[in-house]
Chains A and B, each alone.
Chain A
């Protein structure tokens, strides 16, 4: 359903969508029911000529039931939400599948630098490809990203991956993704980081193996650039 508006491109995008739907349906059900009861009571017990208002203490069993029964039912719903949320959290954040490729993602006010492994497939070697605001990855490949910040808090957000991860100055945070289809999409910063936060966008290019090999080959011919890291200023 969410896919109708924002494509689901990573392996775990649908897990996140399903969790949001589960929360939406359960919370939405209680919200609508509560509002219906609330407005029902307002109409039923509206002011009538000659009728005095009654003070309800809420101490009688028949009155308490209006609180305790929905409370218990909501707690039961919470169990479903917590189980679903823990599963998704484990899949995306706790679990770290073995990497086939690794990229470094460096946030700064107000740009993203992406360091790709060169022809040797290894990061932190002389043939690394550092690009500003362009991340190139191969489809159906498990990537680890090493997320850093050069200055303040940022958030590496790829909406079509349903991926959001804070970048914290002084730390290297490792996460993963595996893109399932080729195309190009937005990368954004999802943590207020200063005056240019709103335009701190980049693009992710998910490529077929041939396209990705061509990308590496075309950038390997250029003169090597210094490898950007959070401390490299």
Chain B
């Protein structure tokens, strides 16, 4: 074999090696992270400070119930807080409190562990705290919200729409107000938040929001 042939062969082998290695590395990088629930439980102690050890939330400090919410949704929200997409507006008081918590989950493995642990907790059904006209809310829900959150309020992962049944009514109204005022869903990069922001514009006022939320609570039955 001539010298030049050997060099060409070595060069080709080198290129092939680089390609195989990079393909393998890429596959490895894209591999889903396996949640470690035991580690998630440890990490959840941080969340429990506000959301409670059962993840049932605490209205006094505007911490919503998170127990049993889908892991994909909780993970997406913590990523939003971490990346400054959510909870970065100067007037988003409760969101600003979550912002550093999201940053503490800087490691994706931690993020997956803790959000899957929250998802593994028994879902709660927070009691109603607001007065709304469910009949009026039903009309709006079935015209607008149903598209993404479904007729049964159980959400649709494909549309990034979370289930609503385990949320507190005060939390849902607070979020609708934030979407409408631009405290949430107005940041560049918050694609799904932007969708919800435009939907919130169809609600006239806070009473209208309470009506829709009152109807959502009736879907629990």
A contact residues vs B (CB 8 Å cutoff): 106, 108-111, 113, 115, 130-132, 150, 194-196, 199-200, 225-226, 228, 232-233
Stretch at the interface among B3-11, B36-44, B94-102, B109-117: B94-102
B198 within 8 A of A: no
Q: Does the CB pair A110–B97 fall under 8 Å?
A: yes
Task: Please determine whether B91 and A111 come into contact, CB atoms closer than 8 angstroms.
Answer: no
The reply to whether B90 and A132 contact each other, CB–CB distance below 8 Å, is yes
B residues whose Cβ falls under 8 Å from a Cβ of A:
46, 49-50, 88-91, 93, 96-97, 99-101, 103-104
A199 CB contact (under 8 Å) in B49, B91, B104: B104
Contact yes or no, A225 B93, CB < 8 A: no
With beta carbons under 8 angstroms apart, the residue of A109, A199, A200, A225 that contacts B90 is A225
Residues of A within 8 A of B101 (CB): 196
| CB pair B91 A150 closer than 8 Å | no
- Which of A132, A194, A199, A226 contacts B103 (CB under 8 A)? A199
Residue of B nearest to A196 (CB): B100
Chain B positions within 8 Å of A132 at CB level: 88-90, 96, 99
Complex interface: chain B residues within 8 A of A194 (CB): 49
- In the bound assembly, the distance between CA atoms of A200 and B101 in angstroms comes to 10
B89:A111 contact, CB within 8 angstroms: no
Q: Are A199 and B96 in contact (CB under 8 A)?
A: no
Most A CB contacts (10 A, CB to CB) among B88, B90, B99 go to B90
A131 touches B46 (CB 8 A): no
Alpha-carbon gap, A150 to B62, bound state (A): 14
